[in-house]
Amino acid sequence: MIIAIDGPAAVGTGTLARGLAARFNLGHLDSGLLYRAVAARVLAGGGGGHDPDQAAGAARAVAMTELAEPALRREDVGRVASMVAVHPAVRQVLLGRQRDFARRPPAGTDGAVLDGRDIGTVVLPDADVKFFLTGSLDVRLVRRVKELRARGEPFIQARVEQDMRERDQRDRSRAAAPLAAATDAHVIDTTEIDAEAVLETACRLVRSSPRISRTKVRRKSGAPSDTAQKVRSQESP
Ligand code: C5P
């Protein structure tokens, strides 16, 4: 099973992806970390993300093992990530990494879930189920601030808000793979519902998806899940 999740900054794509990965025993790739890893390399080399050749060189050098580095989560790295993400050569290199992950998910898993900005539209247009999360800027800002506090990262709220606006604008307006919902994506507005409710809604949609055969919907243990059974019995004539 392959699941694609997209949405703007701090809308909760990562939380949903982790939840679905646990429910359906899937490998998870946060594709934003790839762009962040490129940004971290560019920053380490004294760059600012505007030079396409430097950014493409950094993209080629990125290894999947770098993605666990906590410093990639920093706000300044995220800002430069959205700058390197406009270069088609960078996207081309990272496209291969993302498709490889989906083609060969980690051993022992039953598939992959990827989250990002262009997963359903460009990276995995044939994904079995696609989600596109939306959420008001205010709500997303509150979530991001909570995240930064929890990590103990110093921040200025007005700056975080401005950064988020600029990043969303850059992600939506770039020529190469802009942030957009795939026409066959389930759009979930997260403005008024919490992460748990988003996950439950998404699980229901996965289980009822015509692309997912019933035998594919299993718990980690391999036993069909209770909810899957419920859906099945409700569907039975
Ligand atoms: O999701 P995250 O905030 O970690 O992503 C950082 C930046 O990487 C985004 O603002 C976006 O510009 C870029 N990105 C992208 N395509 C993806 C994932 C992330 O362009 N699939």
CA dist., res. 105 & res. 128, Å (int): 15
Could you write out the DSSP letters of every residue in 70-124? GGGGSHHHHHHHHHHTT-HHHHHHHHHHHHHHHHSPPTT-S-EEEEESSIIIII-
8 Å CB contact between 129 and 209? yes
Evaluate: CB of 81 within 6 angstroms of ligand 1: yes
Per-residue pLDDT at 105 exceeds 90: yes
Evaluate: CB of 140 within 6 angstroms of ligand 1: no
CATH code reported for the domain at 2-214: 3.40.50.300
Domain layout of the chain by residue ranges: 2-214
Evaluate: CB of 85 within 6 angstroms of ligand 1: yes
Q: Please name the amino acid found at residue 111.
A: G
133 compared with 233, residue with greater pLDDT = 133
Per-residue pLDDT at 103 exceeds 70: yes
Q: Which of 19, 11, 13, 28 is nearest to 204 (CA)?
A: 19
Total number of residues shown for the chain: 237
Q: Which of 147, 185, 144, 187 is nearest to 165 (CA)?
A: 144
Q: Which of 190, 80, 90, 87 is nearest to 133 (CA)?
A: 190
CA dist., res. 24 & res. 12, Å (int): 18
Q: Please name the amino acid found at residue 210.
A: P
Per-residue pLDDT at 214 exceeds 90: no
Cα–ligand 1 centroid distance for 111 (angstroms):
22
* 73, 90, 97, 117, best to mutate for ligand 1 pocket (most atoms within 8 Å of CB): 117
CA dist., res. 221 & res. 25, Å (int): 9
Residue 180, classified by CB atoms within 10 Å of its CB into exposed (0-12), middle (13-18) or buried (19+), is middle
pLDDT in tens, 45-66: 999 999 999 999 999 999 999 9
Confidence of residue 211 (pLDDT cuts 50, 70, 90): confident
CA dist., res. 41 & res. 55, Å (int): 8
Which stretch of DSSP H or E encloses residue 30?
Answer: strand 27-30
Percent of the chain with pLDDT over 90: 85
Which of 92-101, 120-129, 198-207, 218-227 is predicted least confidently? 218-227
| Coil, strand or helix at 45 | coil
Evaluate: CB of 31 within 6 angstroms of ligand 1: yes
Per-residue pLDDT at 128 exceeds 70: yes
Per-residue pLDDT at 124 exceeds 90: yes
User: Residue range 179-191: average pLDDT?
Assistant: 97
| Coil, strand or helix at 176 | coil
CA dist., res. 183 & res. 210, Å (int): 16
Per-residue pLDDT at 226 exceeds 50: no
Q: What is the pTM of this model?
A: 0.90
Evaluate: CB of 130 within 6 angstroms of ligand 1: no
CA dist., res. 137 & res. 167, Å (int): 12
Q: Mean pLDDT over all residues of the chain?
A: 90
Per-residue pLDDT at 185 exceeds 80: yes
Q: Please name the amino acid found at residue 92.
A: Q
Per-residue pLDDT at 3 exceeds 90: yes
Kindly state the tokens that stand for 207.
């289980």
Q: Which of 20, 13, 31 is nearest to 135 (CA)?
A: 13
Q: How many Å from the N-terminal Cα to the C-terminal Cα in the chain? A: 26
